Amino acid sequence: MIGSSGLSSLYSALENYYSITRDELPYRLETVYSVLESVFGIKVTHTIEKRIVRRFYDTLDIPFTKIVGYTLQDYVEAVRKRIRLSSLNSLSEYIRLL
């Protein structure tokens, strides 16, 4: 979708114009999304968003289910909640075993 040179340009623009480093991307999704929209338009940005979300879920080995109306931020927050719950369940199991 976006070649390596295009991706490098996007990272540079985010850092130079918005002071967003690659490490900060997960915490500044709203700004990143609006930059993508302004550069690529809404339709292409939605396509990019879908690919990012699917890749994100695949990387974490979590089954992906499309939810109508969800944005990139919603999917990321859903994973964060899932991880927190999983951690709490693991901690609860550990405490029970003590």
Q: Report the chain's terminal Cα–Cα distance, integer Å.
A: 51
Q: Tell me: the pLDDT tens digits for 67-97?
A: 998 988 899 889 888 888 777 666 666 555 5
Q: Between residues 20 and 93, which one has the greater pLDDT?
A: 20
At what angle are helices 42-59 and 29-40 packed, to 10 degrees? 140
What CATH number does residue 19 fall under? 1.10.1200
Identify the domain containing residue 50 by its residue range. Answer: 4-97
Query: How large is the average pLDDT for residues 19-35?
Result: 88
The pair of structure tokens assigned to 17 is 């114009």
What total number of domains does the chain contain?
A: 1
